[in-house]
Copies of this chain bind each other. A is one copy, B any other.
Amino acid sequence: MHEFEIIKRYFSKLSLNNQGSLNLNDDVFFEKSQKLVVSIDTYVEGTHFINFKNPELVIKKILRSSISDLICKGVNPKYYFISGSGNKKKFSKKNIRKISKSLHQEQKKFSIFLCGGDTVFSNKLSFTIASIGFSKKIIFRNKAKLNDDIYVTGNLGDSFIGLRFLKKRIKLNKNYSDYFKKKYFTPSLNLNLAKKLFLFANTSIDISDGLISDLEKLINNQKLSYKISLKEIPISSKLQSLVNQKKIKKISCVSNGDDYQILFTASQSKSRIISRISKTLGIKISKIGKICKHYQKSQIIDEKGDQIGLKNKGYFHNF
């Protein structure tokens, strides 16, 4: 059964009496009266990360994935908790030293603090991370307005190439592989943009399952559709070069993989402020499409103006 269905069918009613939880239909829990914002996620070896050969990188990746949920909602993360399940080999002294050092670097980079956690024995390696921030407001899902422009920060798809390289599904020279691996393990997060989002974004999400999949999640309860232009989807020059060499299709890269860029919609009147903030912060923000009426089917338009059919809308956590 699909994760969303499980949540909807059996667990939504458990939070009905509680306004804060957003009926479990958002990425974070927001308790307005306490200004509390919480995100919690579990990361399993073999599913959410390939292996633990580079503990220092895996830890960075999953921690960024966790705090990204807050940042994309306009909230600065402040605290995090990490619980690890694993065996003696995975939690050897050497690895623990690496994990500790890595966390230390991330704490400095994102101004966050470790507040607790747990280490338990298991022959299957997994981590659960809870990130906490404080904010009077957040940007919710499902608040897109008709005719909103759709924007995305940074470049998409790099992380997916990194993953494919690590899985030995694509060959790359060292210059390229180093670049893409780095993007996979340590995606750039737009911490400075978080608080600015309130100035223009109507609704937002971070891209963790792929652009299309997350765009559909962003408006899943709304009677709206989207039209996006493949040409406008921002990719790095290195990824463009792989696309040119026909090593990979652009649409596949951006529909998969965990980019942790922010996807948001804003009314057309906000385009000037968005480009000003983009320049001031030095953060790339690209307009990639529009929110349309619900009776129009959602569309992805390729360079030739043709509609693209998608086999795979992105990664879903299936049971």
Contacts and interface: CB of A to CB of B under 8 A. Distances in A.
A15 interface: yes
Interface in A181-233: none
A81 B40 contact: yes
A82 B122 CA distance: 18
Contacts of A83: 40-42, 128
A47 interface: yes
A51 to B, nearest CB: 14
Given A115-B21, A120-B44, A11 B128 contact: no
A276 B121 CA distance: 43
Contact of A119 (B6, B43, B113): B6
A40 B303 CA distance: 49
Interface string A113-138: 11111111111101010101010000
Interface of A: 1, 3, 6-7, 10-11, 13-15, 17-18, 20-21, 24, 28-29, 31, 34-36, 38-44, 47-48, 79, 81, 83-85, 87-88, 91, 93, 96-97, 99-100, 103-104, 107, 113-124, 126, 128, 130, 132, 134, 317-319
13 contacts: A1-B96, A13-B104, A15-B114, A24-B114, A28-B116, A29-B115, A34-B34, A39-B116, A41-B118, A42-B84, A42-B118, A44-B122, A47-B122
